[in-house]
Each structure stands twice: as C-alpha cells, then as structure tokens.
Amino acid sequence: MSLVRVDAPQPAATDAKPALFAALSARFGDRFSTSASLRAQHANTLTWIPCQPPDAVIFAETTEEVVAVVALCADARIPVIAFGTGTSLEGHVNAPFGGVCIDLSRMNRILAVHEADLDCVVEAGVTRKQLNEHLRDRGLFFPVDPGADASLGGMAATRASGTNAVRYGTMRDNVLALTAVLADGRVIATGTRARKSAAGYDLTRLLIGSEGTLGIITSLTLKLYGVPDTILSAVCPFASIEGACLAVIAALQIGLPLARIELADAVQIRACNGYSHLTLPEQPTLFLEFHGTEASAREQVASFAEIAASEGGGDFQWAERQEDRTKLWQARHDAYWAARGLQPGAELLSTDVCVPISALAACVGETREDIDRLGLLAPIVGHVGDGNFHVMPLFDPNDPEERRKVQGFLDRLIERALRFDGTCSGEHGVGQGKIGYLAAEHGLGVEVMVAIKKALDPLNILNPGKIFRYHHDG
Amino acid sequence: MSLVRVDAPQPAATDAKPALFAALSARFGDRFSTSASLRAQHANTLTWIPCQPPDAVIFAETTEEVVAVVALCADARIPVIAFGTGTSLEGHVNAPFGGVCIDLSRMNRILAVHEADLDCVVEAGVTRKQLNEHLRDRGLFFPVDPGADASLGGMAATRASGTNAVRYGTMRDNVLALTAVLADGRVIATGTRARKSAAGYDLTRLLIGSEGTLGIITSLTLKLYGVPDTILSAVCPFASIEGACLAVIAALQIGLPLARIELADAVQIRACNGYSHLTLPEQPTLFLEFHGTEASAREQVASFAEIAASEGGGDFQWAERQEDRTKLWQARHDAYWAARGLQPGAELLSTDVCVPISALAACVGETREDIDRLGLLAPIVGHVGDGNFHVMPLFDPNDPEERRKVQGFLDRLIERALRFDGTCSGEHGVGQGKIGYLAAEHGLGVEVMVAIKKALDPLNILNPGKIFRYHHDG
C-alpha cells in the first residue's frame, strides 16, 4: 500500500462532463440542474470551511436512479457526492474536485414499520423528525438525535449520535441493515432484520461512518423503541464544570440508566437564555432526562439527586409538562444557533472530541483554560455521559489572526483529546475538517482504510477528498 | 472483482516449509511443535466437520512474536491460523491448506482495568471467566457469555454473543478497540478508550467477526458493567413453545430490560435434567434473569409474571441463592454436553440461526415439525430475546444416510431463517460449515467481502478457507 498522499481523483477526459450532463439532463429533466444558487445550497453551509459547490445537482427518487447516476459518473470519471439535508459540520458535502451531487431528500418514503420486531425500513432521505412523527401514534420512537433534523441516510453515513446515545447508542448501534449503491453501480443489501448475526464481515458497520466514500446509502433498517411510560426532564446547575462531570461519572458507575445527560457551560447558558428566552442561572448546568416506569424513573431521579448534591449541584428545575420538556430540549438543540447569537456577524466553528469519562473534567477544564488564555468567546456543550463535548469558538472570518488563533486552539484540543486516549471526533465525523488529525489517531490504520477505499472505489469517484486524500495509482 | 471460487492460497515453494520451520524452531524453541497430538488438539473439536490439523503449533507470548510468525509465514506463503480455546463450532480453527497455528492462550495478561471508565485492556488469550474472576472484587463484570470459557480474542474474532446479549449486546457492541497483526506483519490499533467515535472507517467492527481472515487480534479494550444490586433468576415452564415465544415478544415490546431470557424445549429439558441433576417439568421452559435495583428487579418480575400467565406459563421456580443461580445457569450452559448425553456415542451438530422476533415462534415451530418428520433427536435451545436459537441434531457419524438427512435438515433450517428475513448464523459464525450459505444471505455483499479480504491479505495466508473460499489471482 502506498502512503496517503494528497491528490485528486483520476482526471476526467476534457469532453466527459458535457456529455455526462447531456445524458443526465435527458434522463432527469428538471430534476437535473446546474443553477449556481442550487449548487451553492448543496455545498457546505454550517462550517468555517469554504463552500465548494458541485457542478450539478440531481434529485433522485429511487435506488435505480442512484445506480444510473453513479454508473454514468463512473464511466465519465466524475465524482458523486451524496446529500441528505446538508447539516454536517466538517465539509462532508463539499465538492473539492467538482462532480454531481445526488440529493436524496425526495427518497423519503417510510417503507415498513414492524411493530412486533421494533424495527422499520426507510429510504435514506427520511428525516428523524419525519420518522418520529410517523411513529408517534404507535407508541414507538427512533432515539438517535443529533439535534438537526438530519436525514437518516446522512446520519448513518456520518455515524451520527447525539443526546440519547448514552442510553440508546449511536447510529452504529441502531442500524440493522443498509442498502447501498457501490462505486461501480452495483447494489448491496448488507444485513437482515435479525437482531444479530455472525455471518461474514460487518459491511453495515463499514458503511456507517464512511461518509459516502464507499457507497451511497439508499435505504436503512432501523431499530425502534417503545416510548417509555414515564419521562422526567430537569436542569440542575453546578458550582463547577468539574462537579457536573464528577456527578455524571458517579451516576454511570452505579449503572443509572440515564436517558440523556447534557452539559452546558456558563457561556452556553447565557447564550441559551438569550436565544430561547429562558431564565436559567448562568452556571455550568446539566440537562437531564430519565426514562422508565413511573417507579423506576422516580428511583433514578432520587439516586441522581443524591449524587448531584454531593458534587455541588443546586436545585433541580423540573419540566413536568410535555410542552416544557420540548422547550427545554429545543433550547439544548438550539445551542448552535444560540451560540451564533452571542456575537452576530461572527463566524462559528462547531467542533467535538470524545474522551474516556474519567478524563472529561480535566479535558474540559484544560480546554476552558485555553479558551480564556486566548480571549476567545467559545461556549462548551457536551453529551457528557459519553465523554463527548463540543466547543464553538466565535471569530471574525476576515481576520487572519483570529483564524490562526482558532486553528491553533483546534489543534491543541485534538492533541489533548488524543493524550487522554480519546478521539478527534466523537460524532461530527472527519469530512474535510479533520483529515489532518486522522493519522495522529489511527496511525497505520489510515493505510488500512485507504486500502479498503481503493478496493471498493478504485476510480475514487465517491465523495473524493473526504476522510483522507488519497493518490489514485491504478 | 472476480467471482468467488474454490481455491487454495498461493502455493508455497516446495522447500519453503522446512526452511520456515527451522527458523521458527530456532526462535521459539519448545514453544514450537509439530507433534501430531498437539496439532490434532489444535484442529476442530466440537463440530461434525472433520479435523484438519495444522502443520505446526506455536505458543506466542507477545504481539511482537505474533508479528514475527506472520511475517515469516507470509514470506514462505504458508497459512497462519489463530487459536484461542478451540471452542468454535464451524471449523474456524481447521487448517484445510495446512499452515502454522498460533496458540494465543499464553497471552493471558489483564493489562489494565479502568474502573471509573468501566473498561479494561486485555491480551487476546484472556478467557471470559478469567476476566470476571479478576473483576469480581471490584463489583464489575464483562457480560458477553457464549457458554464456553472462550478466549476474548476468539470471541471478538467470531463476533460471539450468548445469554446476556439481549440486555448487554454482543462482542460487536462491547469492544472499544483492538490491536491486530495484519497479513504483512504490520500492527494496527483500531480505536481509543472513547465510548464513541466518528473518526474514519470502523476497523474495530470490521475485525470483529472476521474469523482471523483479516488480522490476528492480540489485545482488546472492552466495556465493563457494574454488577447489579439485585439479580433474580427463575425458570418458568410453558404449555407450548409458541406461548413461550409470545411471552418474550410481549416483554420486549413493553421495554422490559430482561437480562437473560433463554428457551429450552422439552427434549432439552429432559437432557438437562439427566446431565445436571435437575427435576424440571419436561415442558418448553424459559430461563430468566432480571437485573436492577431491588425495586426495579421486583417490578420487572411482576410485569413478566403477568405476561407469562397470559401465554400459558406455569409457576416460576426461583433460584434465590447465588449457588442455586450458578447451578441453574450452568445447566443452561451445559446444554451442549447434556444434549450429547441423550445418545452416547452419537455425533452432535450444534447449529444456530437468528430471525426477527415476530417470526421466532413460527420458525421454531416449523423446525420442530421438520425434526419430528425426520425422526431426529434434536434439542432446541435459544437466546430468544434476540430471535436466536440453536438446534442440536444427534446422529450416527458412520451412517451416510443419517448424515445426508442432517445436511438436508440444516439446508432447510437456513432457507427457513432467510425466508423469515433472518440470518444463517446468529452467533456461531461461518467458518467452514456455513460458507455455502453466505451468498444466499448476502448476494453481491460476498464479493465486497472478498474484495476487502484481497486488499488486506493479498497472499491469502490468514486462515484461508474460512467464510469464503477465494481464488488468488495476484
């Protein structure tokens, strides 16, 4: 295997693109477009990474259409970038080498719900909110919740996670099977509806988190859960971030089945109060949710209240009614927008790392010191039950010195996470933004990933320039 | 990619083996052996598949030694087969093309236990019982429990599962990171101690279940759990298998966090009564275990008792004391030996499939009818919370007609599982025994697996002839 090098995919013939576009236009009519505004909407929108629009956008409606596009693009040596809702944060949908963006948002059919088996089959463009609205009357829900109303295909492709992961797992844990279109246009179905299998390599998990570089996911079989009898939500302020982290560690150690346990630091609480019209004390705060029967949820609350008190936690503020609960979690989910509101006009970088839970207080503490030393405004929020936290520095994008400062902060954040035996990304993925850190985390493992990429996409047409940049030598 | 074909690995030069063995003997001394009895002990022991011993056995003590063996074998084009405890059931440790068996049982150091993080780092030869004995005083345990006291490296390599999977997951879910030696002797570390990561392809999950064909696992970072406050175990007889299955479905649907829920049919209960000196009624029976706080475990029991009564369940027989609990679960774990005892001298084939839970009663029922039609003696036991069940036909290995009958039964069992959207193996793996069924389940996915195998082991020296037989065309 060759070393990982920076390179473009195999160049297309000069006349390949016009011929390809003519063919696509003939087949897809007005579902094929090269309009500048549409192309820009399909490039990166929520990161500090510059937009790199594709050359064209196609709205696909079936797996067969995705096959047709991929096969034509493969013939022409033109990249293909899958697009769900565009809410990824590391440049995943950018088109650094141009190419055709396949927008899957119209593949939004819920194909089956198997209530007895607690699973469902959906097309890749179904969003998590759409699915949960569909399930509501059946007393079931899909738990993975990254905040944004992302498409389930995109969530699988980026191995998304979120506030419920401590109890219900991430996309890695909640996808039973996938249908995906490979780089040569073949279609694979990676699993069955069996809850477990020991039959061959785990292609489902290989595709989850592959960010559209190994295949384009067109449908998914997902695990579902019964809506718990009782859901209790609360916020609890702490005297220090360390105290809040220690309370979480203690709760996990005694096996409390916390459904959600989210940290927001004082800066983030100030932002949330402003954006979501709350009046929370501006202190490090845990957002909590307990699921269970009435009795077991109350038992969990009592156990956690005792732990919190011993770590400097203040009074719980309960959200008793469904509407209060929704408001509370909407405020948590709007952390990104609230943070942006702290300094209108500023650019915001949302990044994340994940460390072993015992290192969380130290890692967050050092990170806060670094932020203060740099004089940055940078709220911290975290899925602390997983050891996963987000930092969102605000900066002036036109000030090269500020950009440099933020880049240095980011480098140190990741160096720190790796030093604590953590990962450079808990849930945002690699995309373009974290390519540079992958070798530090995985060493030779990156070469194994590249070998797999080359084996399955020798022309490097599937979302090139993401996860790693690799040299096409075939 | 070429079609999957039956073929041997690239043939070694005629003089390669003596030179290799001289080099290995010089380096490993009496930890290298070609004794016939030792080689036979390292081939297949628990299946109806004939033993195919390796040419030599090496007892490795470090990752560096595994590297040295793999590198020398790669140079000589001689296969390498990793060996843990030899308790796999589908011929995983056979050496159909000869080669060197690396016995990892002496790599049995527990390298670290991180209590605050609920994880540990172990060498691949540590067995699950050894780990749990080490953890006992700390109030922690590792839950994956396939019955046999298998090595943790082997359990990862075969994606093992067992009685606790419905609550705690399988090896897929409980391995945070691996160290593995690749086919060219390079060593990769696939993860960190972070609970989740979105940083690149999931190499951990790719190696789990790869049965030694992509790399040799030499150490693992595993999730641990706090021993629950309260553990309640019981057996409950049912009027019918269907009733027992329906009770399990109902319990899962209301979200009861069952720790273990195991089915044994009447034939298996008769076997267990004989082998383990029990006096259970010879009826389909559920073995149950509830974990929680005192209050939540009692609440689970009350809920389940109500469900069981409505599905034809009889009185619960409780195992209150630790020793009674141990006896009960030992009887369940000894199901294989108990089944063998039903007909001394007979051969026993232990096979498994896994289906969506809603199909379990029908699939078990059709399977029982097939057994009865054939006049076979074949107990059924199952991890029914996962939809996973085992069938163990007994037969005379010297009677070709009986072997043919059993093979026909096996073919129909798997056809049936796939028809119910299940898998040809819930937890036993593919090995040699289920190679023929993989294409029926995965279709083109098998070609993707082969492409990955070729990319990572182009010489086909890692455990060749398992999962699929592939043609070396390089």
Are B140 and B51 in the same domain? no
- Where b means 16+ CB within 10 Å and e means fewer, A405-432 reads bbeebbeebbebbbebbbbbbbbbbbbb
3-state secondary structure of B393: coil
Query: Is B407 in CB contact (< 8 Å) with chain A?
Result: no
**Smallest Cα–Cα separation from B179: which of B152, B200, B150?**
B152
Are A145 and A206 in the same domain? yes
Cross-sheet strand order for the sheet of A230-237 = A317-319, A230-237, A285-292, A260-264, A380-383, A388-391, A351-354
- ipTM score assigned to the predicted complex: 0.95
Per the domain annotation, does A1 fall within a domain? Answer: no
A25 with A69: CB under 8 angstroms?
no
Query: Is A430 in CB contact (< 8 Å) with chain B?
Result: yes
| CB contacts < 8 A (A, B) | 287
Say how many C-beta atoms besides its own lie within 10 A of residue A37's C-beta. 9
**Shortest CB distance from A452 goes to which of B191, B201, B292?**
B201
d(CA B22, CA A313): 67
**C-alpha distances in Å from residue A419, one per residue of A413, A416, B194, B315:** 10, 5, 12, 55
Q: What is the pLDDT of residues B279-298, one digit of tens each?
A: 999 999 999 999 988 888 99
Per the domain annotation, does B465 fall within a domain? Answer: no
CB contact under 8 A, B452 and A448: no
Per the domain annotation, does A470 fall within a domain? Answer: no
- E strands along B320-457, which residues? 347-348, 351-354, 380-383, 388-391, 394-395
Are A58 and A87 in the same domain? yes
Sequence-distant (6+) residues with CB within 8 A of B302 are: none
pLDDT of res. B319: 85
Say how many C-beta atoms besides its own lie within 10 A of residue B27's C-beta. 14
pLDDT of res. A473: 47
Query: Where residue B452 sits, what CATH number does that domain have?
Result: 3.30.43.10
Q: Among the three residues A175, A192, A226, which one is the final residue of a domain in this structure? A: A226
d(CA B465, CA B451): 15
CB contact under 8 A, B449 and A203: yes
Sequence-distant (6+) residues with CB within 8 A of A430 are: A90, A211, A424, A438, A466, A467, A468, B198, B199, B200
How close does chain A come to B409, measured CA to CA in Å? 19
pLDDT of res. B6: 42
Are B215 and B126 in the same domain? yes
pLDDT of res. B350: 93
Are B155 and B179 in the same domain? yes
Are A234 and A304 in the same domain? yes
Q: What tens-digit pLDDT sequence spans chain A (474 residues)?
A: 333 444 556 666 667 999 999 999 999 999 999 999 999 999 987 788 999 999 999 999 999 999 999 999 999 999 999 999 999 999 999 999 999 999 999 999 999 999 999 999 999 999 999 999 999 999 999 999 998 999 999 999 999 998 899 999 999 999 999 999 999 999 999 999 999 999 999 999 999 999 999 999 999 999 999 999 899 999 999 999 999 999 998 898 888 889 999 999 999 999 999 999 999 999 999 999 999 888 889 999 999 999 999 999 999 988 878 888 888 888 888 999 999 999 988 999 999 999 999 999 999 999 999 999 999 999 999 999 999 999 999 999 899 999 999 999 999 999 999 999 999 999 999 999 999 999 999 999 999 999 999 999 999 999 999 999 754 444
d(CA A458, CA A178): 22
Residue A37 has which token pair? Answer: 């505004």
- Where b means 16+ CB within 10 Å and e means fewer, B293-319 reads beebbebbbebbbebbeebbbeebbbb
A85: phi then psi, degrees, rounded to nearest 5: -120, -5
Domain that includes residue A407, residue range: 343-437
Chain B residues within 8 A of A449 when measuring between CB atoms: 200-201, 203
Q: What is the pLDDT of residues B409-456, one digit of tens each?
A: 999 999 999 999 999 999 999 999 999 999 999 999 999 999 999 999
Q: Among the three residues A226, A248, A263, which one is the final residue of a domain in this structure? A: A226
Q: Name the A residues in 241-300 with CB < 8 Å from any B CB.
A: 249, 252-255, 257, 292-293, 295-296, 299
Q: Name the B residues in 77-116 with CB < 8 Å from any A CB.
A: 114-116
Per the domain annotation, does B466 fall within a domain? Answer: no
Q: What is the pLDDT of residues B122-157, one digit of tens each?
A: 999 999 999 999 999 999 999 999 989 999 999 999
Q: At what angle do helices A266-276 and A322-333 cross, to 10 degrees?
A: 120
- Judge residue B277's burial from the number of C-beta atoms within 10 Å of its C-beta, 0-12 exposed, 13-18 middle, 19 or more buried: exposed
Are A331 and A354 in the same domain? no
**Shortest CB distance from B201 goes to which of A188, A293, A449?**
A449
Are A211 and A242 in the same domain? no
Q: Among the three residues A309, A337, A365, which one is the final residue of a domain in this structure? A: A337
Q: Which helix (H) or strand (E) holds B80?
A: strand B80-83
* B267 pLDDT above the threshold of 80: yes
Q: Which helix (H) or strand (E) holds B100?
A: strand B100-103
Per the domain annotation, does B5 fall within a domain? Answer: no
Query: Is B50 in CB contact (< 8 Å) with chain A?
Result: no
Residue B335 has which token pair? Answer: 């199901």
Are B427 and B449 in the same domain? no
B161 with B426: CB under 8 angstroms?
yes
Nearest CA in chain B to A424: B199
CB contact under 8 A, A172 and B422: no
Band (B1; pLDDT cuts 50, 70, 90)? very low
pLDDT of res. B12: 67
Q: Name the A residues in 146-205 with CB < 8 Å from any B CB.
A: 158-161, 165, 169-170, 172-173, 182, 186-203, 205
**Shortest CB distance from B451 goes to which of A160, A442, A456?**
A456
Query: Is B396 in CB contact (< 8 Å) with chain A?
Result: no
Are B222 and B234 in the same domain? no
Query: Where residue B292 sits, what CATH number does that domain have?
Result: 3.30.70.2190
Are B70 and B170 in the same domain? no
Query: Where residue A388 sits, what CATH number does that domain have?
Result: 3.30.70.2740
The pTM is what?
A: 0.96
A238 DSSP assignment: B
Mean pLDDT of chain B: 93
Q: What is the pLDDT of residues B204-216, one digit of tens each?
A: 999 999 999 999 9
Chain A residues within 8 A of B467 when measuring between CB atoms: 200-201
- Judge residue B242's burial from the number of C-beta atoms within 10 Å of its C-beta, 0-12 exposed, 13-18 middle, 19 or more buried: middle
B113 with B201: CB under 8 angstroms?
no
Number of domains in chain B: 4
Are A131 and A216 in the same domain? yes
pLDDT of res. A3: 36
Query: Where residue A174 sits, what CATH number does that domain have?
Result: 3.30.465.10
Per the domain annotation, does A408 fall within a domain? Answer: yes
**Angle made by CA atoms B172, B174, B180, in degrees to the nearest 5:** 70
Query: Is A46 in CB contact (< 8 Å) with chain B?
Result: no
B260: phi then psi, degrees, rounded to nearest 5: -140, 140
Per the domain annotation, does B461 fall within a domain? Answer: no
**Shortest CB distance from B451 goes to which of A356, A441, A455?**
A455
A199 with B430: CB under 8 angstroms?
yes
Residue that the structure tokens 């954006």 belong to: A275
Mean pLDDT along residues B12-29: 91
How close does chain A come to B229, measured CA to CA in Å? 9
Per the domain annotation, does A76 fall within a domain? Answer: yes
d(CA A309, CA A340): 33
d(CA B14, CA A180): 44
d(CA A276, CA A268): 11
Residue B189, beta-bridge partner list: B179
B214: phi then psi, degrees, rounded to nearest 5: -115, -20
